[in-house]
Chain A
Amino acid sequence: MDTALFDAAWLLVAIPLAGAAVLLLAGRRADGWGHWVGVLASAASLVLGLALLVSLLGRDAADRVVDVDLFRWIDAGPLVVDAGLRVDPLSLTFVLLVTFVGTLIHVYSVAYMEHDADRRRFFAYLNLFVAAMLTLVLADSYLLLFVGWEGVGLASYLLIGFWNHVPANASAANKAFVVNRVADVGMIVALMLMFATFGAVDFDTVHAGAAASTDTALLTALGLVLLVAACGKSAQFPLQSWLGDAMAGPTPVSALIHAATMVTAGVYLVVRSGPIFTEAPVALLVTAIVGAVTLLFGAVVGCAKDDVKKALAASTMSQIGYMMLAAGLGPIGYAFAIFHLLTHGFFKAGMFLGAGSVMHGMKDDVDMRRYGALSTAMRVTWLTFGAGWLAILGIPPFSGFWSKDKIIESAFAADGGHGWQPWVFGTVALVGAGITAFYMSRLFFMTFHGERRWATELTAGDREAGVPERHPHESPLLMTAPMVVLAVGSLGLGGALAIGGGFATWLEPVTGHVEHHDPVLPIPVIMVATIVLVLVGAFLAWRQYAAAPVPVVAPRGSVLTRAARADLHQDAVNENLVMRPGQYLTRSLVYGDKKVVDGGAMGVGGLLAVLGAGVQRLQNGYVRSYAAMMLAGFGVLLVVVLTVWN
């Protein structure tokens, strides 16, 4: 029974994939019921995942890594790859996160996308995404992981550009796609390195080889290319520019893919590759630095965004920065990274769904400056969003507190609690928490509190001030129910998993058991400092955005504000550092190709044509000329043959 269940693990992937296939191939005749197929496919995977969880919990901790061989995939000389699934606590955590949040968002989307003509296609893509994401986390080799990796990239591209009749959306999808390709190069190079070094790409061989290897430089290189891949997928500095634009997709997509699941794939990759990173301290340090930089970067950007979805996207970036930072701290941080990933998946998805609900009631307006005082109009949304808000702030006992606090503590214990690292990373994490509190509170207060900056019936003065006409209303049950479930998760999940260190123990078969070092500061001090900073941040936000009136049109702001609004000029930097030189390079290559390569080829052709024109004059059509040439040739042959023979 037990083994049979694990043998059926491939159904986790197959069911959503079949759902996607049915929805895509059935055509318009599935328009009426297709979305329920999508929901069912996702829910079926969830049920199977829960069954696996129960089964796995029934085993001893030592037996909790189950490899399911599927078939011989590639047999090309020295490269032999078996397609197989690895069901272990880490992958199962992801499976449950993806299927649970995914199913909720499927349900939410049924209502959210109700009036969209292409709802069936939307659900097909969602199912495709779920299948690809499950492939990614269940794979037992880097190559199969890469298949899922590309699959989620494809689904993400399709969903960001779902409303591709708007050119901006299509170009946002392209941007995400291109940036992710940069990361994929890292992944491909990593695969090549693995094959060249260890002769295999499955987790077991590679990790065993990495543990046995003494070539630190190679492992560092491997870790860095894996980090590049992770940075692209997880929108980490310097490959984060696509995430803000990715909000062009429908809000459920932003909630599922660009907040809860896909963007965490990079963290998963780093944690999964833990044995490699453990042997490569430099790569680990770079990972932590990248996480720290992104953490602050996202937080600063989040403070300035007026677009509710982009502010949430910046927050996502920042929170994944926390996870990266935790993962970069080495084995002590792996469990906390995944833990934060899990809680973040819940509260961020909840907040995105809340934002979607607000947009639903506000004619799809995303500008927070035209929100305000929505708490009365949308009570359920307000409460569920509030739960997410408190969770991300890290207010006990909300789930964010349990996970984020652990990361901050770990940051203060970086590098075994010696040297500069604990101070720098700890301070960054601490300050990040404060900024997070500020911008999330800003978002919350601007949306739900303060004065209303809209009107049900417009007066002349309102029109002049740019106040829009809105009729906010609570969303239907299909939308609010998932929000409520996620809010409950935001409230209780962290505590439920953290108390007694249950989650870290659960992950131990993957991350390994590590002795925790003591932070450079006492734990209570860190905890109090965090809460104080968070409260200060929230108070500042309340004073500026709830107690004081918020202008409907954004003021010009300081240099920092303007830079943050422009994503700290990341796009400009990309353009000037990468795109322009690339264009010049391409242009010069094209020029060189035309002049040198083509010139050479055409020159040879032209030379032959000239020669041909010369020879053509011999072809005058007179038989006697031909006979003369024949005779001359015969004479030459005769002479040559006789000379050689003699």
Chain B
Amino acid sequence: MASGAEAVLFWCLAPLMVIAALGLVLARKAVHATLCVVFVMVCLAVLYVAQEAPFLGIVQVVVYTGAVMMLFLFVIMLVGVDASDSLVETIRGQRLVGWLLGLGLGAVLVGVLGRVAFPEGVGLEVANEVTNPVGLARILLSDFVFALEIVGILLVTAAIAALTLTHKQRLTARVGQKEMADARVAGGGSLTPLPAPGVYAQRNAMDVPALDAQGRPLESSVSRVLRVRGQERSAPVDPQIRRLDDPGPAGPAVDPPARTTEEES
């Protein structure tokens, strides 16, 4: 039934998909995991098309890859940057149990499939006679029309639910520009904008801190997000620039560069 080309396609994609899926379990960073899943989704779309389901393949790309996974990425950007996602297990025995159950389930499922004799595939030539979307629509709008309506209601409900859940109730007075400026003055912090990163560094980059007049790196010049994620880089120091408080030529010609930022720890 399946052509040789399909077999090639399958055997190329399937191992990649499994590896990407394992990336979901093993990836340290949530963004990587998400990208792995996106890859799996896209491959699935390809497989759908190969399995005579072009409509589902396109929907898979549009809905899953395009909408759902992007939504995941948005949320990760929203909350996941700070989220501690260490792989250190907190529940005793959970990791062992997880692996055992996962392997056991896989073994059971694959074992079952191995023991079942499937009929020779019928194929969808007849069903897809007009086109696949038309065939689907005929079923969807006849047998499943009621379910379709209910699902529509479900989607509306879900949208309203999301709005309700994420809606923040204002409990304090609105903080406008004036209030923030007042708070800043009252707090005694810097009144001017924070320095831009990398301005005095050798190269102009977002992840390199600026240096102050004494040649010391300015922590506040690097974006907080980069600092939290440990993607800040140290500022290389030009040996030509001498620090003003340097005792003089008697000392070592070059101070060791001040390690102002914690390297990825």
Contact = CB atoms under 8 A, between A and B. Distances in A.
B108 A632 contact: no
Nearest to A630: B101
Contacts of A628: 94, 97-98, 101
A280 to B, nearest CB: 81
Contacts of B115: 646
Nearest to A628: B97
A75 B97 CA distance: 70
Interface stretch (A194-202, A347-355, A634-642): A634-642
Contact of B101 (A620, A622, A631, A639): A631
Contacts of A639: 108
Nearest to B112: A642
Query: Binding site of A, secondary structure by majority: helix, strand, loop or mixed?
Result: helix
Contacts of A632: 101
Nearest to B102: A631
A635 B98 CA distance: 13
A115 interface: no
Contacts of A634: 105
Interface in B89-109: 91, 94, 97-98, 101, 104-105, 108
The B interface, classified by DSSP as helix, strand, loop or mixed, is: helix
Given A631-B101, A632-B101, A635-B101, A625 B108 contact: no
A628 B93 CA distance: 11
A638 B91 contact: no
Contacts of A624: 91, 94, 98
Interface string B61-104: 00000000000000000000000000000010010011001001
Nearest to A639: B108
B136 to A, nearest CB: 30
A631 B226 CA distance: 39
A622 B98 CA distance: 13
B105 A622 contact: no
Contacts of B94: 622, 624-625, 628
Nearest to B94: A624
B98 to A, nearest CB: 6
Contact of B91 (A625, A635, A642, A646): A625
A234 B264 CA distance: 108
A504 B16 CA distance: 122
Interface residues of A, number: 13
Nearest to B107: A635
Interface string B105-119: 100100010010000
Contacts of B104: 635
Contacts, number: 25
A640 to B, nearest CB: 11
Nearest to B115: A646
Interface in B104-144: 104-105, 108, 112, 115
A622 B94 CA distance: 10
A628 B105 CA distance: 11
Contacts of A646: 115
Contacts of B112: 638, 642
A477 B118 CA distance: 118
Contacts of B98: 624, 628
A646 B112 CA distance: 11
Most buried by A among B101, B104, B105: B101
B100 to A, nearest CB: 9
B108 to A, nearest CB: 6
Contacts of A642: 112
A627 to B, nearest CB: 9
A625 B97 CA distance: 9
A239 to B, nearest CB: 75
A133 B113 CA distance: 91
Interface in A340-364: none
Nearest to A622: B91
A638 B108 contact: yes
Interface string A45-76: 00000000000000000000000000000000
A59 to B, nearest CB: 91
A625 to B, nearest CB: 6
A356 B105 CA distance: 99
A646 B115 CA distance: 11
B105 A631 contact: yes
Contacts of B105: 631, 634-635
Given A622-B91, A624-B91, A625-B91, A635 B97 contact: no
Nearest to A642: B112
A538 to B, nearest CB: 104
A634 B94 CA distance: 17
Contacts of A631: 101, 105
A646 B94 CA distance: 33
Interface in A588-646: 620, 622, 624-625, 628, 631-632, 634-635, 638-639, 642, 646
Contacts of A620: 91
A642 B107 CA distance: 14
A73 B112 CA distance: 74
A635 to B, nearest CB: 5
A642 to B, nearest CB: 6
A204 B221 CA distance: 118
B46 to A, nearest CB: 29
A632 B105 CA distance: 8
A631 B91 CA distance: 17
A624 B98 CA distance: 9
B250 to A, nearest CB: 63
B139 to A, nearest CB: 29
B220 to A, nearest CB: 39
A81 B118 CA distance: 78
A325 to B, nearest CB: 90
Interface of B: 91, 94, 97-98, 101, 104-105, 108, 112, 115
Given A622-B94, A628-B98, A631-B101, 15 more contacts: A622-B91, A624-B91, A624-B94, A625-B91, A625-B94, A628-B94, A628-B101, A631-B105, A635-B101, A635-B104, A635-B108, A638-B108, A638-B112, A639-B108, A646-B115
A-B pairs, top 7 by smallest CB distance, nearest first, are: A628-B97, A631-B101, A622-B91, A635-B105, A635-B104, A638-B108, A632-B101
23 contacts: A620-B91, A622-B91, A622-B94, A624-B91, A624-B94, A624-B98, A625-B91, A625-B94, A628-B97, A628-B98, A628-B101, A631-B101, A631-B105, A632-B101, A634-B105, A635-B101, A635-B104, A635-B105, A635-B108, A638-B112, A639-B108, A642-B112, A646-B115
Interface of A: 620, 622, 624-625, 628, 631-632, 634-635, 638-639, 642, 646
